[in-house]
Amino acid sequence: MSSLLSKKEVIRHREFRFLGMAAETNNQAEFKGEGVIPSLWSDFYANHVLERIPNKINSSMIALYTNYESDETGAYTFALGTEVVEGHDVPSGLEEWVVPESKYVVFTTRRGPVQEVVVEAWQEIWEWSKYNERAFQFDFELYDLRSVDPMNGQVDIYISVK
């Protein structure tokens, strides 16, 4: 199978603050259609969460994966939000994390329907994970100007590595 992703070398990404709405889930529940990720995305848009987040750095959206119980088989926290500057009150219903400086491998999806290309990318990342050491600290998807059109978007997925 040829790769649908472009993969960059290991990079160091600076520390940043993230603010967003979060829920705990696991991949087994998500695969069975019993997970929280689709409803969190719906709520995020329906409740205009991005507009409610104070002190945004830019208009990019981030899907954050953290609080890993173990690896891709365990529970984790999934959050939707954005990068913010320090020094603000956290609005009700939102949570804040400081994502430390870390090493990442950045995967870039092909252009296409965002829901489709992100799922494809994760399938390839899980395959890649069998032969590479993930850190299971903070991973995130970056939705920037390239993903404004949900039918022809492109997303960068940052996977923390040891």
The pLDDT score that the predictor gives to residue 88 is 81
Residue 2 pLDDT > 60: no
- Predicted TM-score of the model (pTM): 0.94
Q: Tell me the pLDDT tens digit for each residue of 85-133.
A: 998 889 999 999 999 999 999 999 999 999 999 999 999 999 999 999 9
Distance CA 60, CA 83 (A): 8
The answer to whether the CB of 138 falls within 8 A of the CB of 83 is no
**Which CATH number belongs to the domain containing residue 141 in this structure?**
3.20.80.10
Q: How many domains does the chain have?
A: 1
Mean pLDDT value across residues 36-42:
96
How many other CB atoms sit within 10 Å of the CB of residue 40? Answer: 20
Residues β-bridged to residue 159:
105
Range of the domain at 43: 6-160
Residue 1 lies in a domain: no
Q: Could you tell me the pLDDT band of residue 153, with boundaries at 50, 70 and 90?
A: very high
